[in-house]
Structure 1
Amino acid sequence: MNTTNLVPLYAEIFLTVAASAILLIDMFLADAKRNVTYVLSLLTLVGCALFTWADFNTGATTYTFSNMFVSDPMSNLLKLFTYLAVGFTLVYSRQYVGDRQMTNTHLGGEFYVLALFSMLGQMVMISGNSMLSVYLGLELMSLSLYALVALRRDHAVSTEASMKYFVLGALASGMLLYGISMLYGATGTLEITQIAKVAASGTIKPTILVFGIVFIVAGLAFKLGAVPFHMWVPDVYQGSPTAVTLLLGGAPKLATFAICVRLLVEGLLPLAIEWQQMLMVLAVLSLAIGNLTAIAQTNIKRMLAYSTIAQMGFIIIGLLAGVSGTATGVDTSNTASAYSSAMYYSITYVLTTLGTFGLVMLLARSGFEAEQISDFRGLAKRSPWYATVMTVLMFSLAGVPPMVGFAAKFAVLQAVVAQGQIWLSVVAVMFSLIGAYYYLRIVKTMWFDEPADTAVIAAPFDMRLALTLNGIFVVAAGMFPAAMLDACLHAMKLTLAS
């Protein structure tokens, strides 16, 4: 087994060692020094970013561990944004976790260590070139998140949410594993690139592959939270501590997008016409049910959960616009553009939703959860700056120019139109207009309603700085989207070419 080239794995190795060390160090820290765990976790992210950045700058694609692990431009770019997303999550969560003593002791290390091990699973998912390594990464991420959802052991709602997430997650993992076993039985290999070669050879019956694809798409749809596999999303988002909700709704979406590309695009592109039809149904249902149901919500975490379902519909649209059928076969001329637009959408959505939940945690305090939309009443009178940041984030999620959300939606719709699927772009725009209502409702609540609470909004410096940078990014990246769009397109071209 070829394990001589460990350079692509330096970030994963460093993270494993650092997370284990942080867990041990935290055991011997006094309560007054729990901030050490927080600082060490952020430094770990910086170290991982340095290793990945060095690998990303080479622009090369490297396989190691008998081709089970791949380092390519797409994986490195997604990992860099994963570090950023987890970093923002830890900054936003520090005061929230400490106020609620979620781990028996003030700022206990379990929250940070589980977050880091969850990120390790995401990194393995992003770089998996074998269905086995992808599945192992998925389970490492999922098990860490199950534990995080139930971290408040004396909180009945959190325990209920954890049980729902665990049971439905196990069911989805079983479906994904069954689909993987069918593909292995049909092709005789677990290596994703080899599956593509066997599928393209025409030597096996496509019926077996299609059955495998059905179960794989079902498992991936659950992880994305797409309809009709969305049942867990609103309940788990609402029942989890808000810090954990952000861990669920942020970085894992990048890892899930990566395994969609690995399994469906790199492994099953010869059968794209079949799985694109399934994705089309998921996309339309997600856009419809996500946006329409969000209108009726009064709990902001539940509303954002249904918003997530609708946003995943846009990502799926980008994934299904890559290949089109022609009289002579399939047209792949739009492949890189479509998949890079979905990648760009995933990144911008994650960075936008980070700030949204960050502001939800900002308004919360010990003994009080700011989970109702009414809790945002009159925020502009209490803090005009935070109300402005939240307004920017809501406009971005709604797709209002010049925010980055508009650029992301435009990129996806452009790819769909280029593929000739005009009706699908019309449906997406129509439901986006419907969805704008519940985002603008929050803006109206902040700026035009009288405040129900006049308490001073206090936050540590690092959280104030992160929220400010988050808001500035959403505006700046929307006004100048070319750099990130080009980076996603360049990374996707190099990855698909390898």
Structure 2
Amino acid sequence: MTTILAQVERLTVPEIDYGAVAPVLVILGAACVSVLLEAFLPKQSRWPAQVVLTVLALAGAAGALIVHGGAADTVDRGVVTFSGAIAVDPPVVFLWGTLLLLAVGSLLLIADRSVEPGGAFAPEPQAGGQGGGGGAVATRARAVASVMQTEVFPLTLFALGGMMVFVAANDLLTMFIALEVLSLPLYLLCGLGRRRRLLSQEAAVKYFLLGAFASAFFLYGVALLYGYSGSVKLVDIAAATAATDRSDTLLYAGFGLLVVGLLFKASVGPFHAWTPDVYQGAPTPVTAFMAACTKVAAFGGILRVLHVAFQGSSWEWNVVLAVLAGVSMVIGAVLGLTQTDVKRMIAYSSVAHAGFLLVGAIALTPEGLSATMFYLAAYGFTTIAAFGVVSLVRNADGEATHLSQWAGLAKRSPITAAVFTLLLLALAGIPFTSGFIGKFVVFAAAIDAGMAPLVVFALVVSAIAAFFYLRVIVLMYFSEPAADGPTVTVPGAFTTASITLGAVITLVLGVWPAFALDWAGSGQFIF
């Protein structure tokens, strides 16, 4: 007993910089409060309470980030806290800011669709008469109450908190815990669709099973790298790679398994099998959140791992990741041409963009780091707005996502078609959009890093991928609408704000990208 007490007395509580991690604490704290609201508030009071709490949480996290992000210690060198487990440096500040802004756009879509009778979370329409006028009113009231799936708010906040920890994790164990915190709520969110319940639940099961395999790969990689370096800290792994008396087998095997888990979450081909099915089956607001925020979190983690832990051994894995980037581009471009569903087409577009992002990630230069982060921000806002537009085109069965149903859309709703055209051109990388600037800076960084052949290949694939974006534009403007075609619903205030936010930022970053590029290039990772 005396020995135990002596050991306890020698324990020192690690210093925690609460200011540095305040944005994460605000989001995770709000998620816990949100769960309590779900448990104790009556059903009719949950939606307004959850919306107010979510707005306050995002505003509070953004305020804390602005206060800390402008501090000299963060701009100059960053902060390492929680016994070295969390590093808050300039790239993390940029990624956190991007995640919070993207979460605003996603949660605006979720807020509209969680309460709207015809929205993504609404149940299948029931057969049967409505009765008299009073019965119709009562039926509508019951329908509105039944679709308030307010559990989406705590799940989204927990996933967002996990993403913020994931990009700031300074050791692999913390990164794995954050990976699970962000993944588990996403599995549940994918299964919340009620208009196409079977498709939504099938997507959730596929995502869960494949995600479990990817997590296992990640964890086995962590174990092997621990055996190689004797530590899970990124800086210790980097030091071990400089030694000559280590087992290269453990290094290669551990790195390979670790990268598989990371590339799965980033939907990089050929680890993309979950992407089209989940994008199609999940409720559209949830798909928007996954497509934008998860991409930022996954590549944020990839950038930190490659730049901090494995930069010294890049000559051993650079070619492998370059090949995977090319494979991802080809899979996304070629299979995207064959799709007849808008959501699946955007899913394969995501796979192609993951390949372009990986080109910047493996450049391992300050220019490559800033270019990749800018690309993530540009892609995220465009994608959220695109899914917001998709949620507006509906028929009696819900969202009309088959391409044939989009024929002549410009004649039915010129504004909707014009906005979607802008977003598709941005995804294709046409000048004066954020997509063009994103590809330009990533490819320029890759050329400076000596990867000119990969950039030429990427340009060719990008030209091929542009075809399936232009195909939709031609279909909307140069085809006659079907007599029984879908209608474009009048968006709610939240959906309008989300689409406007994404479209405006897509234009602004295409015309005036200097601010975002300067912010993204304000500093490097610390450890």
TM range (shorter): over 0.9
More displaced, 52-61 or 62-71? Answer: 52-61
Code of the aligned partner of 1:75: V
1:336-370 alpha-carbon deviations (Å, 9 max, x no partner): 11122112111111111111101111224774112
Provide the residue aligned with 1:349 in structure 2: 379
SS of the residue aligned with 2:522?
A: helix
SS of the residue aligned with 2:304?
A: helix
Does the 8 Å CA contact 1:265/1:272 hold for their aligned counterparts? no
Provide the residue aligned with 2:154 in structure 1: 113
Asked whether 1:400 is paired with 2:430, we answer: yes
Does the 8 Å CA contact 2:433/2:507 hold for their aligned counterparts? yes
- How many Å separate the matches in 2 of 1:341 and 1:184? 31
Provide the residue aligned with 1:93 in structure 2: 110
Does the 8 Å CA contact 1:26/1:34 hold for their aligned counterparts? no
Q: 1:371 aligns with which of 398, 401, 410?
A: 401
Provide the residue aligned with 1:411 in structure 2: 441
- How many Å separate the matches in 2 of 1:289 and 1:184? 34
SS of the residue aligned with 2:392?
A: helix
Matches within 5 A, 1:7-156: 7-27=19-39, 28-31=41-44, 34-58=47-71, 59=75, 60-98=77-115, 99=117, 100=119, 101=121, 105-152=146-193, 155-156=197-198
- How many Å separate the matches in 1 of 2:396 and 2:81? 48
- For normalisation by structure 1, the TM-score amounts to 0.93
More displaced, 407-416 or 106-115? Answer: 106-115
SS of the residue aligned with 1:432?
A: helix
Does the 8 Å CA contact 1:96/1:365 hold for their aligned counterparts? no
Does the 8 Å CA contact 1:97/1:243 hold for their aligned counterparts? no
| CA apart distance, 1:105 | 3.4
1:231-276 alpha-carbon deviations (Å, 9 max, x no partner): 1111111111112211221101111111112222211111112221
Provide the residue aligned with 2:454 in structure 1: 424
- How many Å separate the matches in 1 of 2:494 and 2:198? 31
More displaced, 134-143 or 370-379? Answer: 370-379
More displaced, 351-360 or 442-451? Answer: 442-451
SS of the residue aligned with 2:340?
A: coil
Does the 8 Å CA contact 1:31/1:105 hold for their aligned counterparts? no
SS of the residue aligned with 1:229?
A: coil
Q: 1:338 aligns with which of 368, 374, 379?
A: 368
| CA apart distance, 1:160 | 1.2
More displaced, 402-411 or 32-41? Answer: 32-41
Does the 8 Å CA contact 2:393/2:486 hold for their aligned counterparts? no
SS of the residue aligned with 1:86?
A: helix
Does the 8 Å CA contact 2:28/2:161 hold for their aligned counterparts? yes
Code of the aligned partner of 2:174: S
More displaced, 130-139 or 28-37? Answer: 28-37
Q: 1:192 aligns with which of 234, 259, 264?
A: 234
SS of the residue aligned with 1:347?
A: helix
| CA apart distance, 1:10 | 1.5
Asked whether 1:312 is paired with 2:368, we answer: no
Does the 8 Å CA contact 1:96/1:361 hold for their aligned counterparts? no
- How many Å separate the matches in 2 of 1:456 and 1:192? 50
| CA apart distance, 1:33 | 6.0
1:135-187 alpha-carbon deviations (Å, 9 max, x no partner): 00000111010111112478111111111111111111111111111111111
Q: 1:445 aligns with which of 475, 478, 481?
A: 475
Cα distance change of structure 1 residues 465 and 239 upon mapping to structure 2, 3 Å threshold: closer
Does the 8 Å CA contact 1:176/1:215 hold for their aligned counterparts? yes
Cα distance change of structure 1 residues 426 and 189 upon mapping to structure 2, 3 Å threshold: same
Asked whether 1:214 is paired with 2:256, we answer: yes
| CA apart distance, 1:110 | 0.6
SS of the residue aligned with 1:251?
A: helix
Code of the aligned partner of 2:460: M
- For normalisation by structure 2, the TM-score amounts to 0.88
Code of the aligned partner of 1:204: R
| CA apart distance, 1:227 | 1.4
| CA apart distance, 1:450 | 2.4
- How many Å separate the matches in 2 of 1:283 and 1:36? 44
SS of the residue aligned with 1:70?
A: strand
Provide the residue aligned with 1:330 in structure 2: none
Does the 8 Å CA contact 2:190/2:286 hold for their aligned counterparts? yes
- How many Å separate the matches in 2 of 1:400 and 1:465? 24
Does the 8 Å CA contact 2:158/2:181 hold for their aligned counterparts? yes
- How many Å separate the matches in 2 of 1:15 and 1:218? 28
Code of the aligned partner of 2:54: S
Code of the aligned partner of 2:410: A
Provide the residue aligned with 1:474 in structure 2: 506
Cα distance change of structure 1 residues 278 and 37 upon mapping to structure 2, 3 Å threshold: same
Cα distance change of structure 1 residues 40 and 102 upon mapping to structure 2, 3 Å threshold: farther
Code of the aligned partner of 1:461: A
Cα distance change of structure 1 residues 111 and 446 upon mapping to structure 2, 3 Å threshold: same
Code of the aligned partner of 2:501: L
Code of the aligned partner of 2:443: L
| CA apart distance, 1:21 | 1.5
Provide the residue aligned with 2:324 in structure 1: 282
Aligned-pair identity in percent equals: 34
- How many Å separate the matches in 2 of 1:160 and 1:19? 26
Code of the aligned partner of 1:451: P
Question: What is the aligned residue count?
Answer: 483
Code of the aligned partner of 2:505: F
Larger Rg: 2
1:407-464 alpha-carbon deviations (Å, 9 max, x no partner): 1111111112112322111110101110011001111122222233374531122322
Greater RCO (Cα-Cα under 8 Å, separation 6 or more): 2
| CA apart distance, 1:283 | 0.5
Does the 8 Å CA contact 1:93/1:361 hold for their aligned counterparts? no
5+ residue gaps, structure 1, are 323-334
Code of the aligned partner of 1:479: V
5+ residue gaps, structure 2, are 1-12, 124-144
